[in-house]
Amino acid sequence: MTAEACGTCDSTGKTVLVCPGCAAPSEIVSTAIAYRAAHDGPQARSCTACEQVTMVVEPDMVCPACGQLRPEVNELLLARYDRIGPDDLAAAPCVGCGYRVGAPDEPLNLLVACRACDADFAIPLDMFAVGQGMRLRCGTCAADTRIPDTVWCPVCGQHLRRDGIADLIRAAN
């Protein structure tokens, strides 16, 4: 795949996916899901509004020339949804327990409460080494907070869990 525009697809990569189940616009970054679908196969995502796994982007929904989602991607998603319905989250390709990609200019952070003073601090997700834990020093009280390696998806181990991270951090400290 090349990064050049093909003239047909959205070369900005800002296609808004629409949930075929409830018609809510998605916050999924189209360039990220297009890349993953083209390289790793079908990508299933749940809708944040209706909480069903309704958006399954398949490799044929990605333009082979430019690597962006095809202009008719929402129609293709709707046709698939009409044929198959929502996927079962357990049967969907693992997406890291619901890993959500943010907007391109939105920093992806994990909010952690200090174990000693309860101050909240945000950790950029790009600081995390996949599958590893870490120790963080609070900027307010200088106490160390341990982030265990159990914050990663137990299925694929590639993404942070969607839920329960705060409980895992509390249990580790």
Give per-residue pLDDT as tens, 91-119.
444 444 444 444 344 456 777 888 888 78
What confidence score (pLDDT) does residue 94 get? 41
**Which pLDDT band, with edges at 50, 70 and 90, does 154 fall under?**
low
Q: Are 40 and 13 in contact (CB under 8 A)?
A: no
- Given a contact cutoff of 8 angstroms between Cβ atoms, the answer to whether 144 and 173 are in contact is no
Q: CA dihedral defined by 106, 23, 43, 96, rounded to 10 degrees?
A: 60
Choice among 17-26, 139-148, 149-158 with the minimum mean pLDDT: 149-158
The CA distances from residue 137 to 118, 134, 150, in Å, are: 13, 10, 19
Q: Distance between CA 55 and CA 78 in Å, rounded?
A: 9
Give the pLDDT band (50/70/90) at residue 24: very high
